Amino acid sequence: MIITVSREFGSGGREVGKRLADKLNLTYIDREIVTTIANENNMQEDVVEETLNQGIIPQIPLHYGRSFYYYQNLPNPQSHLMSRQQSLLKEFADRGNCIIVGRAADVILEDYDPFRIFVYADLSSKLERCRRLGPEEEALSDHDLERKMKRIDSDRARYYSLYGSNAWGDKSNYDLCINTSQFEIRDLVPIIADYIRQWYMVHK
Amino acid sequence: MIITVSREFGSGGREVGKRLADKLNLTYIDREIVTTIANENNMQEDVVEETLNQGIIPQIPLHYGRSFYYYQNLPNPQSHLMSRQQSLLKEFADRGNCIIVGRAADVILEDYDPFRIFVYADLSSKLERCRRLGPEEEALSDHDLERKMKRIDSDRARYYSLYGSNAWGDKSNYDLCINTSQFEIRDLVPIIADYIRQWYMVHK
């Protein structure tokens, strides 16, 4: 069972991922990737994270058909980190039973046929969730918080576009798109977990 | 419990609706609307259906804020049928425990806070499903069948745009978007039914 979770900023996607991992007894993959890459390259973890999240577009396309090898030979440091993240994701997927939030994992792990979730919510729910959970966000005005959300989602979309031919958030990329508006994630997760269990039972 | 199902042509949305109605013991609303309108206007049912499906755009906007009354005074026959469909949908919703496929019911019944599903699938699954279930489609080439699908979906989108401010199929309109690719609807429906039951249990 391999699950990928993509999500709009503020929709509770990370919490969905963590709680699903607990519920379904899967390895939640997140920090390990950054830590490994940071150690290998003698870089600070937050620099690695930042570089990976920015989704900088290199000069040449990253995907030729479905293979990515071409790009691994580039000297560009972002490309190097992204390429390593990609190979690490596959190493984790090879071990099986894991859940990965973000990182275009649904496309990178396409050959593993993961269950692909997209989590989203309406603007007011996302604002409310951010205010409640993010100490950094408390000081921001609604307007600034909304701008921050848009910026982060647009970074995610850009990053995703390096790997996928469809747009980030386009429902056709996913098996299930879940609107978390007005919900506590802890209430929704058991329902999603049941859905996934059943899905795997009937999945050919 | 009021459920609306929107769907791409060929994705199995109608079957989802019918089977969910059985599973959750809800009234499946479909033909009654057309029959009632046909009787009231002394028209043939297929003409009513065709007129309703075409999504013809009248000269003036149909929605001012959330009220639709303005448009009921128009002499245009399409407008008259659409307006009557709208009031019938509300009559059914007033009785509760029903499921409605298509007809922009998710927007028209917004005030009833329905559970809104969107059903979709990848192209090859939709082609395969159409061939299997639609005797009319058997004679069409893949290319012609694909064109037919696009036309029907674009009619649906146009119809929807008369009521909603968001685009048809935009996931933010729905509570759950379900990819039926490679699945038998009969296998998926019990899972969806569980999701809905649980959703109603935690829904405030």
- The alpha carbon of B57 is separated from its chain's Cα centroid by a whole number of angstroms, namely 18
- Residue A117's SS3 state is strand
What DSSP string describes chain B?
-EEEEEE-TTSSHHHHHHHHHHHHT-EEESHHHHHHHHHHHT--HHHHHHHHHH----SS-S-BTTB-GGGGG---HHHHHHHHHHHHHHHHHHH-SEEEESTTHHHHTGGG--EEEEEE--HHHHHHHHHHH-GGGGGS-HHHHHHHHHHHHHHHHHHHHTT-SSPTT-GGG-SEEEE-TT--HHHHHHHHHHHHHHHHHH--
Find the CATH number of the domain harbouring B85: 3.40.50.300
| Per-residue CA distances from B195 to A159, A191, B33 (Å) | 32, 6, 28
Chain B residues closer than 8 Å to A8 by CB:
none
pLDDT interval class at B204 (50, 70, 90): low
Please indicate whether, in this complex, the C-beta atoms of B171 and A120 are within 8 angstroms of each other: yes
Give the neighbor-by-neighbor strand order of the sheet with B98-101: A27-29, A98-101, A2-7, A115-120, A176-179, B176-179, B115-120, B2-7, B98-101, B27-29
How far apart are the two ends of chain B, measured CA to CA in Å? 13
Give the number of domains in chain A: 1
Strands A2-7 and A98-101: parallel
The chain A residue lying nearest B11, using CA atoms, is A172
List residues bridging with A115 in a β-sheet.
Answer: A3
Q: Which of B19, B189, B12 is nearest to A199 (CA)?
A: B189
What distance in Å separates the CA atoms of residue A169 and residue B9, rounded to the nearest whole number?
21
Lowest mean per-residue pLDDT among A27-36, A48-57, A87-96, A125-134 = A48-57
Please indicate whether, in this complex, the C-beta atoms of B203 and A191 are within 8 angstroms of each other: no
pLDDT interval class at B182 (50, 70, 90): confident
Contacts of B41 (CB under 8 A, 6+ apart): B48, B80, B81
- Residue A114's SS3 state is coil
Structural domain boundaries enclosing A157:
2-199
Percent above pLDDT 70 for chain A: 88
Task: Show the tokens assigned to A88.
Answer: 């690490």
Task: Show the tokens assigned to A105.
Answer: 């994992």
| Phi/psi-derived region of residue B104, left when phi > 0, alpha when psi is between -120 and 50, beta in every other case | left
Q: What is the model's pLDDT at position A1? A: 93
Q: What is the radius of gyration, based on Cα positions, of chain B?
A: 17
- Residue A1's SS3 state is coil
The chain B residue lying nearest A179, using CA atoms, is B175
User: CB contacts < 8 Å between A and B, how many?
Assistant: 65
Please indicate whether, in this complex, the C-beta atoms of B174 and A177 are within 8 angstroms of each other: yes
pLDDT of A48 higher than 90: no
The chain B residue lying nearest A183, using CA atoms, is B203
- Mean pLDDT confidence for B164-183: 93
Answer for the pair B123, B146: CB distance below 8 angstroms, yes or no: yes
pLDDT digits (tens, 9 = 90+) for A132-164: 877 777 778 889 999 999 999 998 998 898 888
ipTM summary value: 0.84
What distance in Å separates the CA atoms of residue B134 and residue B119, rounded to the nearest whole number?
18
Q: Is residue A204 part of a domain?
A: no
A111 interfaces chain B, CB cutoff of 8 Å: no
B28 interfaces chain A, CB cutoff of 8 Å: no
B117 interfaces chain A, CB cutoff of 8 Å: no
**H/E stretch holding A116:** strand A115-120
A203 interfaces chain B, CB cutoff of 8 Å: yes
Lowest mean per-residue pLDDT among A34-38, A169-173, B129-133, B192-196 = B129-133
What distance in Å separates the CA atoms of residue B59 and residue B62, rounded to the nearest whole number?
9
Q: What is the model's pLDDT at position A95? A: 95
Q: How many C-beta neighbours within 10 Å does residue A98 have?
A: 22
pLDDT of B72 higher than 50: no
Q: Is residue A147 part of a domain?
A: yes
* B42 or B176: which leads in pLDDT: B176
| CA-based nearest distance B28→chain A, Å | 23
Q: Is residue A168 part of a domain?
A: yes
Task: Show the tokens assigned to B15.
Answer: 């079957």
